Amino acid sequence: MKRVAVFGAGLTGLAAAWKLRSLGAEVAVFDPAALPGGVVRSVARDGYLLELGPNTVLEKGGALTEWIDGLGLRGRVVHPPAAAKKRFILHRGRPVAAPMSPWAFAASPLLSLQGKARLLGEPFQERGTAGDESVAAFFQRRLGAEAVERLIDPFVSGIYAGDPVRLSARHCFPKLWQWEREAGSLLRGILGGRKKEGKRVKWKMISFPEGLGELPRAAASALGGALHLGAAPALRRGTENWEVEGFGKFDAVVAAMPPRALAGWLEAGLPGVELGVIRACATAPVRVWHFGVERARVGHALDGFGVLAPGAEGEPVLGVLFSSALFPGRAPEGCVLLTVFQGGMRHPEWCRAEAEAEARAAAWEAVSRWLEVKGEPDLVEATLWKEAIPQYEVGHGRLLEALAGLEASHPGLFLRGNLRGGVAVGDCVASGFAVADEVARM
């Protein structure tokens, strides 16, 4: 039986440990934090249910579905109403529904006639030749500058809290990048991909009655005594295996943690290794605000998922989710919960500790103006993530090469987490399952 040490009890580490156990390995999981789950945390406060990190998960079979079923959570899955498919984009200071059909696209004020014509001309644009280019450059070639400013920019900020001028198209949107390379256009790539996939499994947005925090809590319960929170034991490379101080020898080590923490951990366990590329990986800071308010004081219908703000709008927040409209039990009767995201790579200054009071006032002013809210919020809760989301910027391939090189030169070492393979919840779970399979084959 293999003994495997997992450092990091975020979703990737928990998923890896759970899968390893199912494959017959003995595991021990270590994390200096007091709670499992990393940024996935759900907190009850004054009748509200607050998601301090991600608010929803997209499920499409695979690892996430296997994990949910294996943890016994299938019966607790909840889905949002059909109206949650509706998204709003801020346009000239007011929320405008993103077009979800050809007719809505034709009538939408989000793009000018010229912008719409340029976007519709995507199949006729030349295929790109750059090995790596920014998200902004990629979509400007394919869709036009106006579409980048009005549609792509807010979409990217909603996923990565990042700057499309700095992010890598190849690594942030690998499927789209590959489609252009293979089919010559995104539209032809999409149509061709559908033919190859055949009957598609639809994405389903899900959560749980007590929030996404149920997922790491269930995983922690399943691991039992194998999970060691508040623990950061020293790691040492032995002649034939790995040694974890106080816990003995292990055949393999999985590290799933943010870039800066990973660099520090590697420096302590493997003195002398080159870590410059890992340390240089940027991470977006995000300040999350939860505002609770009486429904009667909100003018907007809140009939959708939320509002994203393009950078060109010059607003102090990235966007707002209509949290209580997505899932039941998020707010007391007669009240609504709004979750606001601020900072990111666009405006990291809003995430300075000393800026909290100013950030709060700016966030509420913006959101209350967009949604026509009267008065002040009844509930205000703030969460600051100094390193919320790693940025897959142009040149991200160098980081991946560095990680692969470290693994190759230290057999039995596996470096994972959301700094490779995607930042979404489903990506992290898939990464954890994949590394478990790699360890099992070792």
Residue 149's alpha-carbon distances to 89, 113, 137, 310, 315, in angstroms, are 11, 15, 11, 7, 14
pLDDT for 122: 94
Tens-place pLDDT, residues 30-47: 999 999 999 999 999 999
Determine which helix (DSSP H) or strand (DSSP E) holds 340, and give its type and residue range. Answer: strand 335-343
For residue 198, what pLDDT band results from cuts at 50, 70 and 90?
low
Gap between the Cα atoms of 312 and 307, Å rounded: 15
Between 130 and 270, name the one with better pLDDT: 270
Q: What's the farthest any 2 CA atoms get from each other in the chain?
A: 68
The pLDDT tens digits of the residues spanning 54-100 come to 999 999 889 999 999 999 999 999 999 999 999 999 999 999 999 98
User: Which DSSP symbol is given to 411?
Assistant: T
Contact assessment for residue 189 and residue 180, using Cβ atoms and an 8 Å cutoff:
yes
- Percent of the residues in the chain that have a pLDDT greater than 90, as a whole number: 90
pTM: 0.94
The domain made up of 3-38+212-281+393-441 has a fold known as: FAD/NAD(P)-binding domain (3.50.50)
Angle at 20 between CA 30 and CA 22, to 5 degrees: 130
pLDDT confidence of residue 86: 95
What is the pLDDT averaged over residues 391-411? Answer: 95
pLDDT at 291 over 70: yes
The DSSP line for 205-266 is EEB-TT-TTHHHHHHHHHHGGGEEET----EEE-SSSEEETTTEEESEEEEE--HHHHHHHH
Query: Region 147-168: what's the mean pLDDT?
Result: 96
- The rounded distance, in Å, linking the Cα atoms of 376 and 362 is 13
pLDDT at residue 191 in the model:
84
Take residue 322 and report the two structure tokens written for it. 């209509």
CA distance readout (Å), 319 to 16, 153, 229, 285, 340: 32, 12, 33, 15, 6
Q: Which CATH superfamily is domain 283-390 in?
A: Protoporphyrinogen oxidase, mitochondrial; domain 2 (3.90.660.20)
Q: What percent of the chain has pLDDT over 70?
A: 98
Tokens coding 298: 């909100």
Listing DSSP states for 365-387 in one string gives HHHHHHHTB-S--SEEEEEEEEE
Cα gap 402→282, rounded to integer Å: 15
Residue 183: its H or E element:
helix 174-183
pLDDT of 229 reads: 98
Q: If residue 399 lies in a helix (H) or strand (E), which one and from where to where?
A: helix 396-409
Q: What average pLDDT does this structure show over 118-146?
A: 93
According to the model, what pLDDT value does residue 394 have?
Answer: 96
Cα–Cα nearest to 309, from 57, 98, 86, 81? 98
- pLDDT above 70: residue 199: no
Q: Answer yes or no: are the C-beta atoms of 219 and 36 closer than 8 Å.
A: yes
Q: In what order do the strands lie in the sheet with 413-416?
A: 227-229, 26-31, 3-7, 252-256, 413-416
Whole-number pLDDT of residue 197: 58
- Please report the pLDDT score of residue 7 as a whole number: 98
Domain coordinates in residue numbering, the chain: 3-38+212-281+393-441, 111-123+132-197, 283-390
Which CATH number does the domain 111-123+132-197 belong to among 3.30.420.40, 1.10.3110.10, 1.10.10.10, 3.20.20.210?
1.10.3110.10
Q: Do domains 3-38+212-281+393-441 and 283-390 have the same CATH topology?
A: no
**pLDDT tens sequence across 252-283:** 999 999 999 999 999 988 888 889 999 999 99
Least confidently predicted of 201-210, 316-325, 414-423 = 201-210
Q: What band does 192 get if pLDDT is binned at 50, 70 and 90?
A: confident
Task: Give tens-digit pLDDT for 323-355.
Answer: 999 999 999 999 999 999 999 999 999 999 999
